[in-house]
């Protein structure tokens, strides 16, 4: 394309149209500047967060604070963050309390209160308090570092339509040059034109047939869309994924941490006959305090909130795939899955049910069934071989889940939920959120199989997930979307886009923007082809003045770019 413009400018000058040649180069340069502006604007909107990357941290070493590079920080280090400073690493608050501005990561405009045990992220701004933070991620593994990698991938990724346009441009430019030479050599003999008319029309043809507007139809619009979404907390790894998103037929959500908050809470605590509720709460917290499992931590928090005192237990250990056990006053206590109530063979159960009367067992089974019908996860508490309590926990549905799904359905998109949870629990969450299809009791490979089946039946499928177990499905889907705050590193690595604020309502907005991009690109291409065809035909039929050809050609290029730039301010 540059070659065609230079040749056209030289040709215009050769026949005495110096001003038109200069105008051609000027307007061509202006259109190039607009494209560069779009690229820089997109890059700025995506990567402005990089400027918030702290370079040093105050690390506690032998009782003293030492300034070190953030790349020297290791997991477990204790660092000091003063008021008004950027937090240099991902971690949890060891001591202190403050409000933290997380706008650079999540897009939240209001600072979030943080206390001991709260999670903080590198690149966020500490408020008025002094914080001691225990580092949980190396500099290369922080959420901030993941954002930077996303930016680099977004800058290097070229959509399929643009790759095709580049190949087309190369072939088309050669055709235009050959056609121009053919006009100069053949027109006098075939059409009877004189030399001046032939050369003039050939130069006009060279100008108006150049594919500048056509080539500029795609990337400015695509980059504007990427920039638009970045400001709303949605980062894409490249324009190709926006193209694919526009064709979305199905959006499949993981349940835990995606449609739900991913943090279970205790909803029911049933004490057996003859037992005080507070006593059992204290014992359950004493046992589960030794576990890092989310359900165990939820039980501990519930007991602490109720003011139940913990007791000293011994020989605490995890029962793989079932729960926890520990000794208290020489008696073994256990907390774990309630599925042992369904096992008749005592040898296959994690405990012996011989001492349970039929009535007692029926009572607990009835309670379990009632709680599970409400979509809750149920654990039993045992002293020796007797069940003495039952605990129900539930992962709350995200406040915006129902609205997000309704917005997708309004766009004609089918919504599915893929989960490893039980069917009853999955159906309750599905009813609360309004999804169209539910697939439960799934292993990671089962999720992959269902994604493949959905793609075969519906076409383009988007998968939204946050965990390591979602990574294969994210990679299998047409477009994988990861949760930026709650998502695992593996999920973010394989995802094609990331919700930096975990707001799943932005998925529908992003689909709207993606579809708008496709409409704008089609508008641009139709307009560009129409202008080129009209000017070429007019040049041969009636004749087009070179100044008019320059203005018509380069003006159409500028209009196409400006049309794409509309997305910078679009609110979807």
| 253: CATH | 3.40.50.1000
Look-up: residue for tokens 């049933």? 270
Structure tokens at 521: 């690109």
Residue 101 in domain: no
Residue 332 in domain: yes
Rounded to an integer, what distance in angstroms lies between the CA atom of residue 74 and that of residue 384? 43
| Domain count across the chain | 3
Identify the domain containing residue 324 by its residue range: 265-394
Is the full-model pTM beyond 0.85? no
Rounded to an integer, what distance in angstroms lies between the CA atom of residue 344 and that of residue 376? 23
Q: pLDDT tens digits for the chain (572 residues)?
A: 555 556 656 665 666 666 655 655 665 666 566 666 655 655 555 455 555 567 889 999 888 889 998 889 899 999 999 988 889 888 999 999 998 887 666 555 567 888 898 888 888 889 888 999 999 988 776 766 666 666 555 555 555 666 676 777 778 778 877 888 888 888 787 777 777 778 888 888 887 888 878 888 888 888 888 888 887 888 887 778 888 999 999 999 998 888 988 788 899 999 988 888 999 999 999 998 878 777 888 999 999 888 888 888 888 888 776 788 899 888 999 998 887 777 653 333 344 444 444 347 788 888 988 998 888 888 999 888 888 899 999 888 898 999 999 999 999 999 999 988 778 888 888 999 999 999 988 878 889 999 999 999 999 999 998 866 787 888 889 999 988 766 556 666 778 888 877 889 999 999 999 999 999 999 999 999 999 899 888 888 877 877 787 778 778 888 888 898 888 776 66
Residues 342, 416 within the same domain:
no
Structure tokens at 223: 């980059």
Residue 147 in domain: no
C-alpha pair distances (Å), 64 with each of 56, 60, 90, 126? 16, 5, 21, 21
17 in helix, strand or coil? Answer: coil
Strands of 199-287 (E only): list them.
234-236, 248-254, 265-271
382 in helix, strand or coil? Answer: strand
The answer to whether 408 and 251 are in contact (CB under 8 A) is yes
pLDDT the model gives residue 337: 84
Pairing state between β 386-394 and 265-271 = antiparallel
Give the sign of the dihedral formed by CA 22, CA 26, CA 32, CA 35: negative
pLDDT the model gives residue 219: 81
Residues 302, 327 within the same domain:
yes
Q: Assign residue 362 the CATH number of its domain.
A: 3.40.1110.10
Final residue of a structural domain among 445, 478, 502: 502
Which residues are CB-contacts of 376 (< 8 A; sequence separation ≥ 6)? 267, 268, 392, 393, 394, 425
Residues 270, 369 within the same domain:
yes
pLDDT the model gives residue 572: 60
Pairing state between β 497-499 and 234-236 = antiparallel
Final residue of a structural domain among 379, 394, 409: 394
Give the active site residue among 77, 90, 254, 421: 254
**H-only helix segments in 82-140:** 103-106
What element of type H or E holds 327?
Answer: strand 323-328
Kindly compute the dihedral angle of the four CA atoms of residues 426, 429, 433, 438, in this order, to the nearest 10 degrees: 10
Residues 37, 164 within the same domain:
yes
Angle at 323 between CA 319 and CA 328, to 5 degrees: 85
pLDDT the model gives residue 486: 63
Give the sign of the dihedral formed by CA 452, CA 453, CA 458, CA 462: negative
CA 450 to chain centre: 21
Residues 296, 319 within the same domain:
yes
Final residue of a structural domain among 377, 394, 411: 394
Residue 186 in domain: yes
Give per-residue burial for 57-75: e unless 16+ CB within 10 Å, then b: bbbeeeeeeeebebeebee
Pairing state between β 331-337 and 479-483 = unpaired
Residues 389, 285 within the same domain:
yes
Assess whether 342 carries a catalytic annotation.
no
């Amino acid at each position: 394309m540059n070659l065609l413009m230079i040749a056209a400018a030289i040709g215009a000058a050769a026949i005495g149209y110096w001003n038109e040649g200069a105008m051609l180069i000027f307007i061509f340069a202006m259109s190039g500047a607009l494209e560069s502006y779009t690229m820089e604007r997109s890059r700025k909107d995506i990567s402005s967060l990089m400027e918030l990357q702290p370079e040093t941290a105050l690390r506690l070493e032998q009782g003293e604070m030492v300034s070190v590079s953030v790349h020297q920080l290791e997991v477990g280090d204790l660092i000091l963050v003063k008021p008004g400073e950027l937090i240099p690493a991902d971690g949890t608050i060891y001591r202190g309390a403050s409000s933290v501005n997380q706008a650079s990561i999540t897009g939240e405009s209001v600072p979030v209160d943080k206390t001991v045990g709260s999670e903080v992220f590198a690149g966020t701004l500490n408020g008025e308090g002094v914080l001691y933070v225990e580092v949980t991620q190396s500099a290369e593994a922080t959420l901030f570092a993941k954002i930077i990698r996303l930016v680099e991938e977004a800058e290097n990724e070229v959509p399929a339509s643009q790759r095709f346009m580049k190949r087309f441009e190369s072939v088309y430019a050669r055709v235009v040059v050959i056609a121009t030479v053919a006009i100069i050599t053949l027109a006098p003999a075939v059409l009877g034109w004189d030399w001046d008319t032939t050369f003039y029309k050939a130069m006009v043809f060279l100008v108006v047939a150049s594919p500048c507007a056509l080539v500029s139809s795609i990337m400015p619009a695509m980059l504007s869309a990427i920039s638009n979404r970045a400001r709303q907390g949605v980062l894409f790894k490249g324009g190709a994924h926006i193209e694919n998103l526009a064709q979305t037929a199905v959006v499949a959500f993981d349940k835990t941490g995606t449609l739900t908050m991913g943090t279970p809470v205790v909803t029911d605590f049933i004490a057996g006959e003859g037992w005080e509720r507070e006593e059992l709460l204290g014992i359950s917290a004493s046992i589960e305090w030794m576990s890092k499992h989310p359900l165990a931590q939820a039980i501990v928090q519930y007991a602490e909130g109720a003011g139940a005192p913990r007791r000293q237990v011994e020989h605490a250990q995890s029962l793989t795939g079932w729960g926890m056990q520990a000794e208290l006053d020489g008696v073994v206590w256990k907390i774990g899955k309630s599925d042992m109530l369904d096992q008749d063979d005592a040898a296959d159960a994690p405990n012996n049910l011989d001492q349970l009367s039929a009535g007692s067992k029926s009572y607990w089974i009835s309670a379990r069934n009632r709680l599970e019908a409400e979509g809750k996860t149920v654990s039993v508490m045992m002293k020796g071989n007797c069940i003495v309590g039952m605990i129900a926990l539930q992962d709350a549905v995200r406040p915006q889940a129902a609205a997000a799904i309704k917005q997708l359905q309004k766009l004609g998109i089918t919504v599915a939920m893929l989960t490893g949870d039980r069917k009853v629990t999955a159906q309750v969450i599905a009813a609360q959120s309004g999804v169209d299809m539910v697939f439960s009791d799934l292993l990671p490979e089962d999720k992959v199989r269902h994604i493949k089946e959905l793609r075969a039946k519906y076409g383009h499928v988007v998968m939204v997930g946050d965990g390591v177990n979602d990574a294969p499905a994210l990679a299998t889907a047409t477009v994988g979307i990861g949760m930026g705050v709650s998502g695992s590193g593996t999920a973010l690595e394989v995802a094609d886009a990331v919700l930096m604020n975990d707001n799943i309502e932005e998925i529908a907005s992003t689909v709207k923007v993606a579809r708008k991009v496709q409409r704008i690109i089609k508008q641009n291409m139709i307009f560009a082809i129409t202008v080129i065809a009209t000017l070429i035909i007019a040049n041969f039929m009636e004749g087009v003045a070179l100044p008019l050809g320059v203005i018509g050609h380069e003006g159409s290029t500028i209009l196409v770019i400006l049309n794409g730039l509309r997305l910078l301010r679009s609110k979807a």
